[in-house]
Amino acid sequence: MALPNIYIVACGGTIAGKAATEEDLTGYTAGAATIDEVLQAVPAVHQYARIRGEQFCSIDSSDMSEGLWLALAARVQELAGRDDVDGIVVTHGTDTMEETAYFLNLAVHTEKPVVFVGSMRPATAISADGPLNLLEAVQAAAQAETGRYGVVIVMNGTICSARFVEKTDTTHVDTFKSRQLGYIGLMQDGMPMFYQAPLRRHTYESGLSCSGCAALPTVVVAYAYVGMERWIESLVPQGVCGLVLAGFGHGRMPGAVWQSLQKAMKEGLVVVRASRTLGGAVTPVAEYEGTICADTLTPQKAKILLQLALLKTRDIHEIEEAFREY
Ligand SMILES: NC(=O)C[C@H](N)C(=O)O
Protein backbone atom coordinates (compact mmCIF):
# COMPACT_ATOMS: atom_id res chain seq x y z
CA MET A 1 0.00 0.00 0.00
CA ALA A 2 1.27 3.49 -0.84
CA LEU A 3 2.56 5.49 2.10
CA PRO A 4 0.56 8.59 3.07
CA ASN A 5 1.94 11.97 2.06
CA ILE A 6 2.82 14.02 5.10
CA TYR A 7 3.80 17.66 4.71
CA ILE A 8 5.92 19.26 7.44
CA VAL A 9 5.59 22.99 8.05
CA ALA A 10 8.61 23.91 10.17
CA CYS A 11 8.50 26.93 12.45
CA GLY A 12 11.66 26.51 14.56
CA GLY A 13 11.52 26.10 18.35
CA THR A 14 13.61 23.92 20.62
CA ILE A 15 13.03 20.88 18.43
CA ALA A 16 15.34 22.77 16.05
CA GLY A 17 17.46 24.19 18.88
CA LYS A 18 21.24 24.00 19.13
CA ALA A 19 23.42 24.36 22.24
CA ALA A 20 27.19 24.37 22.65
CA THR A 21 27.24 21.16 24.69
CA GLU A 22 25.00 18.13 25.02
CA GLU A 23 24.41 18.85 28.73
CA ASP A 24 23.05 22.31 28.04
CA LEU A 25 19.26 22.00 28.30
CA THR A 26 18.30 25.67 28.67
CA GLY A 27 21.06 27.87 27.16
CA TYR A 28 20.48 27.13 23.47
CA THR A 29 19.34 28.90 20.34
CA ALA A 30 15.84 27.83 19.31
CA GLY A 31 15.16 27.46 15.58
CA ALA A 32 18.87 27.17 14.70
CA ALA A 33 18.57 23.88 12.78
CA THR A 34 16.66 23.47 9.52
CA ILE A 35 13.88 20.92 9.18
CA ASP A 36 16.20 18.85 6.94
CA GLU A 37 18.77 18.67 9.76
CA VAL A 38 16.04 17.79 12.27
CA LEU A 39 14.75 15.02 9.99
CA GLN A 40 18.23 13.50 9.65
CA ALA A 41 17.97 12.42 13.29
CA VAL A 42 14.72 10.53 12.55
CA PRO A 43 15.31 8.28 9.51
CA ALA A 44 12.44 6.03 10.68
CA VAL A 45 9.84 8.62 9.60
CA HIS A 46 10.33 7.49 6.00
CA GLN A 47 8.92 4.04 6.87
CA TYR A 48 5.60 5.65 7.78
CA ALA A 49 5.13 8.41 5.24
CA ARG A 50 6.40 10.14 2.15
CA ILE A 51 7.76 13.31 3.71
CA ARG A 52 7.93 16.72 2.15
CA GLY A 53 8.09 20.04 3.85
CA GLU A 54 9.16 23.62 4.08
CA GLN A 55 10.85 25.99 6.46
CA PHE A 56 7.95 28.34 7.18
CA CYS A 57 9.96 30.34 9.76
CA SER A 58 12.89 29.72 12.13
CA ILE A 59 11.95 31.33 15.40
CA ASP A 60 11.79 30.83 19.12
CA SER A 61 8.04 30.58 19.53
CA SER A 62 8.07 33.55 21.90
CA ASP A 63 8.50 35.52 18.65
CA MET A 64 5.35 34.03 17.09
CA SER A 65 3.11 36.87 15.94
CA GLU A 66 -0.47 37.35 14.85
CA GLY A 67 0.81 38.20 11.36
CA LEU A 68 2.59 34.83 11.20
CA TRP A 69 -0.58 33.12 12.46
CA LEU A 70 -2.55 34.55 9.56
CA ALA A 71 0.09 33.44 7.05
CA LEU A 72 0.39 30.01 8.68
CA ALA A 73 -3.38 29.45 8.71
CA ALA A 74 -3.54 30.38 5.01
CA ARG A 75 -0.63 28.06 4.17
CA VAL A 76 -2.03 25.09 6.14
CA GLN A 77 -5.46 25.64 4.58
CA GLU A 78 -3.90 25.62 1.12
CA LEU A 79 -1.88 22.45 1.86
CA ALA A 80 -4.94 20.71 3.31
CA GLY A 81 -6.76 21.33 0.03
CA ARG A 82 -4.13 19.50 -2.02
CA ASP A 83 -4.72 15.94 -3.22
CA ASP A 84 -1.06 15.09 -2.68
CA VAL A 85 -1.18 15.98 1.03
CA ASP A 86 -2.79 13.50 3.45
CA GLY A 87 -1.70 15.09 6.70
CA ILE A 88 0.21 18.08 8.02
CA VAL A 89 2.76 18.23 10.82
CA VAL A 90 3.69 21.65 12.22
CA THR A 91 6.98 21.75 14.13
CA HIS A 92 6.81 24.65 16.58
CA GLY A 93 8.34 25.95 19.81
CA THR A 94 6.44 24.88 22.88
CA ASP A 95 6.09 28.28 24.56
CA THR A 96 3.22 29.43 22.37
CA MET A 97 2.32 26.11 20.74
CA GLU A 98 -1.03 25.85 22.50
CA GLU A 99 -2.03 29.27 21.13
CA THR A 100 -0.97 28.64 17.54
CA ALA A 101 -2.59 25.19 17.64
CA TYR A 102 -5.87 26.63 18.95
CA PHE A 103 -5.80 29.41 16.35
CA LEU A 104 -5.49 26.82 13.56
CA ASN A 105 -8.09 24.61 15.29
CA LEU A 106 -10.60 27.42 14.75
CA ALA A 107 -9.38 28.99 11.51
CA VAL A 108 -8.35 26.05 9.31
CA HIS A 109 -11.20 24.03 7.85
CA THR A 110 -10.13 20.49 7.06
CA GLU A 111 -10.78 16.87 7.93
CA LYS A 112 -7.13 16.00 7.36
CA PRO A 113 -4.83 15.53 10.36
CA VAL A 114 -3.04 18.67 11.54
CA VAL A 115 -0.52 17.69 14.22
CA PHE A 116 1.69 20.05 16.21
CA VAL A 117 4.97 18.86 17.67
CA GLY A 118 7.99 20.31 19.44
CA SER A 119 10.44 19.34 22.11
CA MET A 120 11.61 20.50 25.50
CA ARG A 121 15.28 19.62 24.99
CA PRO A 122 17.31 21.06 22.11
CA ALA A 123 18.28 18.81 19.20
CA THR A 124 21.88 18.74 20.49
CA ALA A 125 20.93 17.49 24.00
CA ILE A 126 21.69 14.13 25.49
CA SER A 127 18.38 12.25 25.41
CA ALA A 128 16.80 14.87 23.15
CA ASP A 129 13.02 14.35 23.06
CA GLY A 130 12.53 15.88 19.61
CA PRO A 131 13.28 12.84 17.40
CA LEU A 132 10.74 10.51 19.07
CA ASN A 133 8.17 13.32 19.29
CA LEU A 134 8.58 14.03 15.57
CA LEU A 135 8.34 10.35 14.66
CA GLU A 136 5.14 10.01 16.68
CA ALA A 137 3.70 13.20 15.20
CA VAL A 138 4.26 11.81 11.69
CA GLN A 139 2.77 8.46 12.74
CA ALA A 140 -0.30 10.26 14.10
CA ALA A 141 -0.65 12.49 11.02
CA ALA A 142 -0.37 9.39 8.80
CA GLN A 143 -3.66 8.07 10.23
CA ALA A 144 -6.69 9.78 8.66
CA GLU A 145 -8.67 9.22 11.87
CA THR A 146 -6.51 11.81 13.66
CA GLY A 147 -8.24 14.51 11.59
CA ARG A 148 -11.55 13.77 13.33
CA TYR A 149 -10.32 15.41 16.51
CA GLY A 150 -9.26 18.77 15.11
CA VAL A 151 -5.78 20.16 15.59
CA VAL A 152 -3.79 18.09 18.09
CA ILE A 153 -0.45 18.25 19.87
CA VAL A 154 1.53 15.01 19.94
CA MET A 155 4.35 15.08 22.47
CA ASN A 156 5.78 12.76 25.10
CA GLY A 157 3.59 9.89 23.96
CA THR A 158 0.30 11.73 24.45
CA ILE A 159 -2.27 13.30 22.12
CA CYS A 160 -3.95 16.49 23.30
CA SER A 161 -6.72 18.49 21.66
CA ALA A 162 -5.67 22.07 20.88
CA ARG A 163 -8.82 23.24 22.68
CA PHE A 164 -7.91 21.71 26.03
CA VAL A 165 -4.11 21.55 26.11
CA GLU A 166 -1.82 23.71 28.27
CA LYS A 167 1.93 23.88 28.74
CA THR A 168 2.35 23.09 32.43
CA ASP A 169 6.10 22.84 33.05
CA THR A 170 8.91 25.25 32.19
CA THR A 171 11.54 22.69 31.23
CA HIS A 172 10.49 19.08 31.76
CA VAL A 173 9.45 16.89 28.83
CA ASP A 174 6.11 15.98 30.42
CA THR A 175 4.73 19.47 29.92
CA PHE A 176 1.66 19.35 27.67
CA LYS A 177 -1.37 18.33 29.66
CA SER A 178 -5.10 18.62 29.41
CA ARG A 179 -5.35 18.97 33.15
CA GLN A 180 -9.07 19.45 33.35
CA LEU A 181 -10.48 17.25 30.64
CA GLY A 182 -7.82 14.72 29.80
CA TYR A 183 -5.76 13.54 26.87
CA ILE A 184 -7.72 12.47 23.82
CA GLY A 185 -5.29 9.66 23.15
CA LEU A 186 -1.90 8.02 23.49
CA MET A 187 0.78 7.02 21.00
CA GLN A 188 1.45 3.32 21.34
CA ASP A 189 3.76 1.20 19.17
CA GLY A 190 3.62 3.69 16.33
CA MET A 191 -0.15 4.11 16.34
CA PRO A 192 -2.46 6.75 17.81
CA MET A 193 -4.98 5.23 20.21
CA PHE A 194 -7.98 7.50 20.83
CA TYR A 195 -10.19 7.42 23.92
CA GLN A 196 -12.30 10.57 23.76
CA ALA A 197 -13.24 13.26 21.27
CA PRO A 198 -13.49 17.02 21.85
CA LEU A 199 -17.12 18.12 21.53
CA ARG A 200 -16.35 21.80 20.98
CA ARG A 201 -16.46 22.94 17.32
CA HIS A 202 -13.17 22.77 15.45
CA THR A 203 -11.59 22.62 11.99
CA TYR A 204 -14.17 21.09 9.58
CA GLU A 205 -17.07 22.20 11.80
CA SER A 206 -15.72 25.68 12.56
CA GLY A 207 -17.71 28.66 11.33
CA LEU A 208 -14.86 31.04 12.13
CA SER A 209 -12.35 32.20 9.57
CA CYS A 210 -9.44 34.59 9.07
CA SER A 211 -9.33 34.20 5.32
CA GLY A 212 -8.54 37.51 3.64
CA CYS A 213 -7.97 39.25 6.97
CA ALA A 214 -4.96 41.59 7.07
CA ALA A 215 -4.79 41.94 10.87
CA LEU A 216 -6.68 40.51 13.83
CA PRO A 217 -8.75 42.86 15.99
CA THR A 218 -6.77 44.19 18.96
CA VAL A 219 -7.62 42.29 22.11
CA VAL A 220 -5.56 42.54 25.31
CA VAL A 221 -5.31 40.23 28.31
CA ALA A 222 -5.27 41.84 31.76
CA TYR A 223 -4.09 39.73 34.68
CA ALA A 224 -5.93 40.30 37.96
CA TYR A 225 -3.87 40.85 41.10
CA VAL A 226 -4.21 42.75 44.34
CA GLY A 227 -3.49 46.36 43.47
CA MET A 228 -4.38 46.14 39.76
CA GLU A 229 -6.74 49.11 40.13
CA ARG A 230 -3.66 51.35 40.45
CA TRP A 231 -3.09 50.76 36.72
CA ILE A 232 -6.68 51.26 35.63
CA GLU A 233 -5.82 53.99 33.17
CA SER A 234 -3.47 51.76 31.25
CA LEU A 235 -5.88 48.80 31.34
CA VAL A 236 -7.98 50.00 28.45
CA PRO A 237 -5.62 51.66 25.99
CA GLN A 238 -6.87 53.37 22.85
CA GLY A 239 -7.95 51.29 19.88
CA VAL A 240 -8.60 48.10 21.84
CA CYS A 241 -11.71 46.17 20.73
CA GLY A 242 -11.68 43.56 23.45
CA LEU A 243 -10.24 42.75 26.82
CA VAL A 244 -9.87 39.34 28.41
CA LEU A 245 -9.60 39.47 32.16
CA ALA A 246 -7.55 36.69 33.77
CA GLY A 247 -9.67 37.24 36.82
CA PHE A 248 -9.59 36.05 40.39
CA GLY A 249 -11.47 32.80 41.07
CA HIS A 250 -14.70 32.69 39.06
CA GLY A 251 -13.60 35.61 36.86
CA ARG A 252 -13.74 38.34 39.48
CA MET A 253 -11.93 41.69 39.69
CA PRO A 254 -11.53 44.64 42.11
CA GLY A 255 -14.65 46.86 42.24
CA ALA A 256 -12.77 49.88 40.87
CA VAL A 257 -11.64 47.87 37.85
CA TRP A 258 -15.22 46.73 37.21
CA GLN A 259 -16.43 50.33 37.34
CA SER A 260 -13.88 51.43 34.80
CA LEU A 261 -14.58 48.44 32.53
CA GLN A 262 -18.32 49.16 32.65
CA LYS A 263 -17.62 52.67 31.31
CA ALA A 264 -15.45 51.25 28.54
CA MET A 265 -18.11 48.62 27.70
CA LYS A 266 -20.61 51.44 27.10
CA GLU A 267 -18.17 52.78 24.51
CA GLY A 268 -18.00 49.37 22.77
CA LEU A 269 -15.29 47.42 24.55
CA VAL A 270 -16.06 43.68 24.66
CA VAL A 271 -15.02 42.17 28.00
CA VAL A 272 -14.43 38.45 28.49
CA ARG A 273 -14.04 37.10 32.03
CA ALA A 274 -11.58 34.22 32.31
CA SER A 275 -9.75 33.02 35.39
CA ARG A 276 -6.20 33.03 36.66
CA THR A 277 -6.93 29.82 38.61
CA LEU A 278 -5.74 26.56 37.13
CA GLY A 279 -9.11 24.91 36.62
CA GLY A 280 -12.86 25.25 36.40
CA ALA A 281 -15.19 27.25 34.21
CA VAL A 282 -16.19 30.92 34.35
CA THR A 283 -19.96 31.16 33.95
CA PRO A 284 -22.48 34.05 33.93
CA VAL A 285 -23.32 35.93 37.15
CA ALA A 286 -25.73 38.87 37.44
CA GLU A 287 -23.03 41.08 39.00
CA TYR A 288 -21.00 41.14 35.80
CA GLU A 289 -23.87 41.55 33.37
CA GLY A 290 -22.75 42.40 29.84
CA THR A 291 -19.49 40.49 30.06
CA ILE A 292 -18.80 37.28 28.18
CA CYS A 293 -17.62 34.16 30.02
CA ALA A 294 -14.52 32.30 28.89
CA ASP A 295 -15.96 28.96 30.02
CA THR A 296 -12.92 26.68 30.52
CA LEU A 297 -10.69 28.54 28.06
CA THR A 298 -7.43 29.90 29.42
CA PRO A 299 -7.11 33.70 29.06
CA GLN A 300 -4.69 33.39 26.12
CA LYS A 301 -7.07 31.08 24.25
CA ALA A 302 -10.11 33.21 25.13
CA LYS A 303 -8.25 36.09 23.47
CA ILE A 304 -7.89 34.08 20.24
CA LEU A 305 -11.55 33.06 20.18
CA LEU A 306 -12.62 36.65 20.84
CA GLN A 307 -10.41 37.92 18.00
CA LEU A 308 -11.84 35.43 15.50
CA ALA A 309 -15.40 36.02 16.72
CA LEU A 310 -14.93 39.79 16.36
CA LEU A 311 -13.91 39.28 12.73
CA LYS A 312 -17.37 37.84 12.18
CA THR A 313 -19.63 39.88 14.41
CA ARG A 314 -19.87 42.68 16.96
CA ASP A 315 -23.11 41.27 18.34
CA ILE A 316 -22.48 40.40 21.98
CA HIS A 317 -25.00 37.53 21.95
CA GLU A 318 -23.36 35.92 18.92
CA ILE A 319 -19.97 36.24 20.59
CA GLU A 320 -21.41 34.66 23.75
CA GLU A 321 -22.71 31.81 21.61
CA ALA A 322 -19.22 31.31 20.16
CA PHE A 323 -17.83 30.92 23.68
CA ARG A 324 -20.39 28.18 24.34
CA GLU A 325 -19.62 26.39 21.09
CA TYR A 326 -15.84 26.52 20.57
N1 LIG B 1 10.69 24.12 24.25
C2 LIG B 1 10.58 25.15 23.44
O3 LIG B 1 10.32 24.99 22.26
C4 LIG B 1 10.78 26.52 24.03
C5 LIG B 1 11.26 27.57 23.09
N6 LIG B 1 11.56 28.77 23.83
C7 LIG B 1 10.23 27.92 22.03
O8 LIG B 1 9.08 28.04 22.36
O9 LIG B 1 10.56 28.10 20.89
Read off the pLDDT of residues 291-319 as tens digits, 9 standing for 90 and up: 999 999 999 999 999 999 999 999 999 99
Was domain 219-325 assigned CATH 2.30.30.230? no
| Cα–ligand 1 centroid distance for 153 (angstroms) | 14
Q: What's the topology of domain 5-205?
A: Rossmann fold (3.40.50)
pTM score of the predicted model: 0.97
pLDDT of residue 230: 86
For residue 131 and ligand 1, the question of a CB distance below 6 A is answered with no
The letter for the amino acid at 200 is R
Ligand 1 and 60: CB distance under 6 A: yes
Q: What is the mean pLDDT of residues 268-282?
A: 96
Cα 288 from Cα 169, distance rounded (Å): 33
* Per-residue pLDDT tens digits for 123-144: 999 999 999 999 999 999 999 9
Tell me the pLDDT band of 287, cut-offs 50, 70 and 90: very high
Provide CATH 3.40.50.1170 ranges for the chain. 5-205
- 28 alpha carbon – ligand 1 mean position (Å): 10
ipTM of the complex: 0.98
For 24, residues 6+ apart whose C-beta sits below 8 A from its C-beta are 122, 124, 125
CATH 3.40.50.40 intervals, the chain: 219-325
- Would the CB of 120 count as within 6 Å of ligand 1? yes
Identity of the residue numbered 67: G
Reported as a pLDDT band with limits 50, 70 and 90, residue 180 is confident
pLDDT exceeds cutoff 80 at 235: no
Query: Is 161 annotated as ligand-binding?
Result: no
Q: How far is CA 63 from CA 27, 66, 93, in A?
A: 17, 10, 10
The pLDDT assigned to 238 comes to 81
The residues carrying an active-site annotation are 14, 94
Under the banding of pLDDT at 50, 70 and 90, the label for residue 232 is confident
81 burial class (0-12, 13-18, 19+ CB within 10 angstroms)? exposed
- Indicate if ligand 1 lies below 6 Å from the C-beta of 118: yes
